[in-house]
C-alpha cells in the first residue's frame, strides 16, 4: 500500500522472544510518546513486521508547521524473552522523518541495524 510505513523486526538470537509493544517519540519532545500494543512472537532467526504508519503520523502531527516537518523520531521495542515473564525495553533507535501536507514522505534509519542483547 502506498504511504505505508512498515517496521521489520528480525530475531537473530537462538532464543525466542515476543515483541509486546512499540514506543514512539520525537527526539526533542519526550512528551510526544505514543504506544502500539503488539503480540508478535519471533522464534530464533524469525522475521516479523508491524505497520506503524498511524503511529509515526500521530507522533509528529503536533510538530508539523506550515504543512511540513523534518526531524528525528525514536522507536523502542518492549519484549519478553522465552522462559521469562518480565518485559524488557530495548534502547531508543533514531529515524530521520520528513512529513509534508499530513503525509510522512520519508523515513530513514540513522543506524544500519538495531541490536539488543537478550542476555541483559
Strand runs labelled E in 11-117: 17-26, 29-42, 47-51, 68-81, 88-89, 93-100, 103-109
Running DSSP on this structure, what letter comes out for residue 52? -
pLDDT at 113: 66
- Say if 119 falls within a structural domain: no
| Entry pTM | 0.82
Where does the pLDDT of residue 118 fall: very low under 50, low under 70, confident under 90, or very high at 90 and above?
low
Domain count, the chain: 1
What's the half-sphere exposure (Cβ side, CA atoms, 13 Å) at 56?
A: 29
Domain at 17, CATH number: 2.60.40
Is 115 within a domain?
no
Residue 117 lies in a domain: no
Give me the residue label for grid cell 532467526: 45
Q: What is the pLDDT of residues 39-98, one digit of tens each?
A: 999 887 788 888 998 899 889 988 888 889 999 999 999 999 988 888 899 889 999 999
Amino acid at each position: 500500500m502506498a504511504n505505508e510505513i512498515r517496521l521489520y523486526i528480525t530475531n537473530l538470537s537462538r532464543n525466542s522472544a515476543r515483541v509486546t509493544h512499540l514506543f514512539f517519540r520525537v527526539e526533542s519532545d519526550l512528551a510526544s510518546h505514543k504506544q502500539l500494543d503488539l503480540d508478535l512472537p519471533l522464534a530464533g532467526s524469525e522475521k516479523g513486521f508491524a505497520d506503524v504508519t498511524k503511529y509515526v503520523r500521530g507522533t509528529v502531527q503536533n510538530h508539523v508547521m506550515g504543512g511540513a516537518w523534518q526531524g528525528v523520531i525514536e522507536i523502542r521495542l518492549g519484549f519478553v524473552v522465552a522462559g521469562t515473564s518480565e518485559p524488557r525495553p530495548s534502547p531508543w533507535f533514531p529515524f530521520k522523518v520528513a512529513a509534508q501536507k499530513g503525509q510522512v514522505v520519508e523515513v530513514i534509519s540513522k543506524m544500519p541495524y538495531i541490536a539488543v542483547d537478550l542476555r541483559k
